[in-house]
Amino acid sequence: MSDLAIELKTDTGKCMYQQIYEYIRNEIRTGKLQRDEKLPSTRSLAEYLQVARSTVDSAYSQLLAEGYIQSKPCRGYFVCGMEELVDLSQPFSLPEERGSRKAAASDIRKEEKLIENEIEYDFSPHAISMKNFPFSTWKRITREILVDANSEMFALGDARGDYELRATICRYLHSARGVNCEPEQIIIGAGNDYLLMLLEKILGRHVPIAMENPTYKRAYRVFQSFAYEIEALPMDKNGISVKALEQSNARVAYIMPSHQYPTGVVMPIGRRMELLKWAEQKEDRYLIEDDYDSEFRYKGKPIPALQASDRAGKVIYIGTFSKSIAPAIRVGYMVLPMPLMEKYRQSCGFYASTVSRIDQRILNEFIKDGYFERYLNKMRKIYREKHDFLLEQLKDLERDFVLSGENAGLHVLLTSKKKIPEKDLIRSAAAKKIRIYGLSDAMVGVPCENEKYENTILLGYGALSGEEISRGVGLLKEAWKEYLT
Amino acid sequence: MSDLAIELKTDTGKCMYQQIYEYIRNEIRTGKLQRDEKLPSTRSLAEYLQVARSTVDSAYSQLLAEGYIQSKPCRGYFVCGMEELVDLSQPFSLPEERGSRKAAASDIRKEEKLIENEIEYDFSPHAISMKNFPFSTWKRITREILVDANSEMFALGDARGDYELRATICRYLHSARGVNCEPEQIIIGAGNDYLLMLLEKILGRHVPIAMENPTYKRAYRVFQSFAYEIEALPMDKNGISVKALEQSNARVAYIMPSHQYPTGVVMPIGRRMELLKWAEQKEDRYLIEDDYDSEFRYKGKPIPALQASDRAGKVIYIGTFSKSIAPAIRVGYMVLPMPLMEKYRQSCGFYASTVSRIDQRILNEFIKDGYFERYLNKMRKIYREKHDFLLEQLKDLERDFVLSGENAGLHVLLTSKKKIPEKDLIRSAAAKKIRIYGLSDAMVGVPCENEKYENTILLGYGALSGEEISRGVGLLKEAWKEYLT
């Protein structure tokens, strides 16, 4: 089958696998590839396109994962019918019940025309730049560690992670974030989802948990998968409403005080103290502080973590190297307050560590030898430049939009003063091959009254160059012409 | 404090950290180090002993983890009182309630004299040999992969693991174990504990689960931590009793058909078919097949996995590289039957992968390029030689003991014909500095009637050299002189 005449472009910066995946996905969505149609084998398509077979494998794998195609043993890959399609690429719409499959498929049909065939500039708030990562240093450290690698390093280490790395993280958290802890309180795990899974074991089942609304949907979905009773509480300009928290059933609150996702709110000390006070009122109340992107702050002094103000052992601090190093590092850490250490030991202290000792050792050297700090400083500078440049580009949009969430993190927010619906903003941007993100994506539970969330979009800039930011914003202005005064 | 006069030996093969840890532990257990006594700082002890500071750190970390010492902020490390001691080094006795702390402490006192100060030969059934691991190949692959490493490899990959590695594992499982599956059904995760955590999300809560008795205690503890209702069912010479299974409430059974741990029973095809039939009787019944050490079989043809006989999508297959490569690899895999794929997607398909892409790539090359198979063949030969040599050494013990569980895996069992209690066998061995393991350690739930479990010990030989096996068994015979005819 040679009629998958995919034109691979080398100048878009989009990798081959992505181009193949998007091409086939669109062919299926638009009905050009029909149900039960057989796709070419990965080998023949790879030969035809003159790419590595693994590239085609990856594209097919993605299509399989998202349910566009299926594989039949010994026969090959086949297109799924539309009624079989469940759009798993929409990260936040888990089908709640089997009946929703058809609805999802018809949604896809409806949105077909909205779906950008080719996105040129993606303002994803989750993307980071790896261009300046000191790969050569990382490789050198790896090499050096492997030279010394012996059977001991291939043995199973401490369940919480190797002591040395915990001590290094402990020192880093103390100096960079003011976190007070001992290495014993730190648990290293393969990513935030896993750390939250441990936390489920520690906190127990049926925990009523409060979240800021809007919030980080990934954490929301993880708590949903625990069947936790989630109370999505409104926010004001200082963060989560403590009044609402007090009126709720929640005994745990998941918050992002340093730079709330997605609103960018930095919680002032007063609100922090109120939250700590709330937690101190009952023995089993805790605050989960997700300090996901605290490394990046561009104005004023760094703001210490909430954990730094915790005197009563109420804050569970969670951090990650996903933003500050790379998502694929798969190393996050959790600092448990002393009162939870015994529960940890009893409920899941025996679960084997999820991070290999070699990876732990590499990361430890990278931090200990100062490379992490140097890289952070560099990235802070680079992100600040991007940030400042973006704000500059957005200046004349401020007649019609309110800018917020700036000064930290890797995204800003634009709220339409004219109350142009978020959907219209996104759709017209997509027509110009620009991908932007709606704030309402991050809303959970019952829709909040605050209607600003319906007219707000997020612009992430972490992975974009100055050139791309400039061109992207230029196109955005063209796209929004009719909405501007 | 210079009175920790630890004599570090370089000729025992025991690493420094272990010697320091054991020394201090014994000083505490025997009361030579008293409650609230301050330990020397890691720096000063390291200087005194002329070892790396990280070595002392590791020893202290272990003591902290096990509750022998505690760290006080800015003050240092202090010995815990005996009533604070919870022996976490005993892997299978989780304190069920706080009240059990004192009991645990007094148990420690009671067993004090039994505790070997220095073990010379450890017949651990869990230890493996890493001496022949092709470290240089592993290092070379790592170097090569790092040369090509780019930002894509540092991006977050598929939640189930990279397609290429899943495809490689799929091919390996098919050829080596007869497992029938597609790469889409494979989920790669950081170790068995983590994979079982995913399985909890897939199977749901309050699942009544049957386990063989005795069984692999680690899995038992993980299921316990899920609050699963565990039915520990008796075994006969062919494996778990299907009659007992049918009479139980269980809807899932966790079994090790290839080489049951610890009994070594290899489940014959008839029993396998009965189990599959049991599972097929109800839609939500499943079998979890833990194929933990199937790579090592010394007599006759390899026996395919139970999954290979599964026609109805009833077997959840779990495997690991912990035994076949190294525990620190932190890569296991789970093959889900098709009927569970949708549940996986809904309940936890969005959890981010716990294995870094670089590690996945290294492992993939190691397997794909044939090194894994070559290493397995080598280890199979080495373990067979150790196994045969051990059996030879045990020959004259067979007058008084029944040998079983041979021909596969990394341990054998000895059952005393004279019904000498397991405890006496272990104690007298310990007096000769030999560590052996009792079968009753692996018993769960209510004690089984089958009294052979009280007179059986396990001898693991994976990590021992021929010389060590010979000397160890020699000492064992001396130790057991009074029990032999």
Q: What is the distance in angstroms between the Cα of A114 and the nearest Cα belonging to chain B?
A: 25
Provide the 10 A C-beta neighbour count for residue A251.
18
Tell me the count of A-B CB pairs closer than 8 A.
Answer: 201
Chain B residues with beta carbon closer than 8 angstroms to that of A322: 156
Between chains, do B61 and A147 touch, taking CB under 8 Å as contact? Answer: no
* Total domains, chain A: 3
The pLDDT value given to residue B461: 94
The answer to whether residue B214 sits within a structural domain is yes
Q: What is the distance in angstroms between the Cα of A167 and the nearest Cα belonging to chain B?
A: 9
DSSP 8-state secondary structure symbol assigned to residue A302? P
Percent of chain A with pLDDT over 90: 53
B149 CB near a chain A CB, below 8 Å?
Answer: yes
Out of A167, A191, A357, closest to residue B352 by CB: A191
Q: What is the distance in angstroms between the Cα of A342 and the nearest Cα belonging to chain B?
A: 10
Residues A177, A197: Cα–Cα separation, whole Å: 24
The pLDDT value given to residue A162: 92
**Does the global pTM surpass 0.90?**
no
Positive or negative torsion for Cα B387, B393, B398, B401: negative
The pLDDT value given to residue B324: 84
Residues A223, A229: Cα–Cα separation, whole Å: 8
Instruction: Give the residue, A64 or B460, on which the prediction is more confident.
Output: B460
The answer to whether residue B55 sits within a structural domain is yes
A414-432 mean pLDDT = 93
Strand, coil or helix: B237: coil
Q: CA distances (Å), A235 to each of A17, A262, B8, B233, in order?
A: 40, 12, 60, 53
Q: What is the distance in angstroms between the Cα of A242 and the nearest Cα belonging to chain B?
A: 30
* Terminal Cα distance for chain B, rounded: 52
Residues B337, B317: Cα–Cα separation, whole Å: 8
A405-418 mean pLDDT = 90
Between chains, do A160 and B65 touch, taking CB under 8 Å as contact? Answer: yes
Same domain, B212 and B320: yes
Judge whether residue A139 has pLDDT over 90.
no
Chain A residues with beta carbon closer than 8 angstroms to that of B148: none
The pLDDT value given to residue B96: 30
- Beta strand A76-79 with B411-416: parallel, antiparallel or unpaired? unpaired
- Nearest chain A residue to B90 by CA distance is A350
Segments forming the whole domain that contains residue A408: 122-127+374-483
The pLDDT value given to residue B142: 87
The answer to whether residue B2 sits within a structural domain is no
Same domain, A242 and A280: yes
B5 CB near a chain A CB, below 8 Å?
Answer: no
The answer to whether residue A105 sits within a structural domain is no
Cβ–Cβ under 8 Å, residues B382 and B129: yes
Q: Which of A354, A371, A388 is the last residue of a domain?
A: A371
Q: Name the residue among A452, A438, A431 with its Cα closest to residue A120.
A: A431
The answer to whether residue A426 sits within a structural domain is yes
A122-126 mean pLDDT = 91
Chain B residues with beta carbon closer than 8 angstroms to that of A60: 163
Judge whether residue B407 has pLDDT over 90.
no
The pLDDT value given to residue B110: 39
Judge whether residue B107 has pLDDT over 90.
no
Same domain, B269 and B357: yes
The H or E element containing residue A188 is strand A186-189
Residues B275, A28: Cα–Cα separation, whole Å: 42
Tens digit of each residue's pLDDT (9 = 90 or more) over A9-41 = 776 666 777 788 888 888 887 777 877 888 888
Q: What is the CA radius of gyration of chain B?
A: 24
Same domain, A290 and A164: yes
Same domain, A364 and A382: no
The pLDDT value given to residue B186: 97
Residues 224-243 of chain A with CB under 8 A from chain B are 225, 227
Mean pLDDT of the residues in chain A: 84
Tens digit of each residue's pLDDT (9 = 90 or more) over A274-324 = 999 999 999 999 999 999 888 888 776 667 899 999 999 999 999 999 888
Residues 310-329 of chain A with CB under 8 A from chain B are 322, 325-329
Percent of chain A with pLDDT over 70: 86
Provide the 10 A C-beta neighbour count for residue A9.
11
Same domain, B338 and B405: no
A447 CB near a chain B CB, below 8 Å?
Answer: no
Dihedral over alpha carbons A126, A132, A133, A135 (to 10 degrees):
140
- Nearest chain A residue to B190 by CA distance is A354
Same domain, B307 and B437: no
The pLDDT value given to residue A3: 55
The pLDDT value given to residue A80: 77
Residues A436, A429: Cα–Cα separation, whole Å: 7
The pLDDT value given to residue B66: 62
- Nearest chain A residue to B346 by CA distance is A94
Q: Name the residue among A118, A179, A194, A139 with its Cα closest to residue A433.
A: A118
Band (pLDDT 50/70/90 cuts) for residue A472 is: very high
A74 CB near a chain B CB, below 8 Å?
Answer: no
Tens digit of each residue's pLDDT (9 = 90 or more) over B308-322 = 999 999 999 999 998
The backbone torsions φ and ψ at residue B55, rounded to the nearest 5 degrees and listed phi first, read: -65, -45
Chain A residues with beta carbon closer than 8 angstroms to that of B218: 350
- Beta partners for residue A297, in sequence order: A408
Q: Which of B371, B392, B420 is the last residue of a domain?
A: B371
Tens digit of each residue's pLDDT (9 = 90 or more) over A58-115 = 788 777 766 678 887 667 888 876 544 433 333 322 223 333 333 333 343 334 334 4
Residue B154 sits in a domain whose CATH number is 3.40.640.10
Token pair of B121 as six digits? 């030969």
The answer to whether residue A34 sits within a structural domain is yes
Judge whether residue A450 has pLDDT over 60.
no
Same domain, B158 and B307: yes
B221 CB near a chain A CB, below 8 Å?
Answer: yes
Residue A382 sits in a domain whose CATH number is 3.90.1150.10
The pLDDT value given to residue B480: 96
Spell out the residues 6+ positions from residue B17 whose beta carbon is closer than 8 angstroms to its own: B55, B56, B58, B59, B62
Same domain, B331 and B254: yes
Chain A residues with beta carbon closer than 8 angstroms to that of B358: 328
Same domain, A339 and A390: no
B70-90 mean pLDDT = 60
Same domain, A361 and A379: no
Token pair of B26 as six digits? 């014994």
The answer to whether residue A347 sits within a structural domain is yes
Between chains, do A155 and B328 touch, taking CB under 8 Å as contact? Answer: yes
Between chains, do B154 and A133 touch, taking CB under 8 Å as contact? Answer: yes
Residues B129, B410: Cα–Cα separation, whole Å: 10
Tens digit of each residue's pLDDT (9 = 90 or more) over B437-451 = 999 888 887 554 444
The pLDDT value given to residue A67: 67
Spell out the residues 6+ positions from residue A28 whose beta carbon is closer than 8 angstroms to its own: A63, A68, A69, A79, A80
B87-92 mean pLDDT = 32
Amino acid at A340: L
Spell out the residues 6+ positions from residue A44 whose beta carbon is closer than 8 angstroms to its own: A1
Residues 190-219 of chain A with CB under 8 A from chain B are 190-194, 197, 201, 205, 218
The pLDDT value given to residue A434: 94
Same domain, B205 and B284: yes
A4 CB near a chain B CB, below 8 Å?
Answer: no
B118-146 mean pLDDT = 87
Chain B residues with beta carbon closer than 8 angstroms to that of A143: 139, 142-143, 146
Judge whether residue A386 has pLDDT over 90.
yes
The pLDDT value given to residue B224: 93
Dihedral over alpha carbons B255, B259, B265, B269 (to 10 degrees):
70
The answer to whether residue A362 sits within a structural domain is yes
Mean pLDDT of the residues in chain B: 84
Chain B residues with beta carbon closer than 8 angstroms to that of A159: 65
Amino acid at B27: E
A164 CB near a chain B CB, below 8 Å?
Answer: yes
Q: Which of A56, A84, A112 is the last residue of a domain?
A: A84
B139 CB near a chain A CB, below 8 Å?
Answer: yes
Residue B74 sits in a domain whose CATH number is 1.10.10.10
Between chains, do A326 and B15 touch, taking CB under 8 Å as contact? Answer: no
The pLDDT value given to residue B230: 95
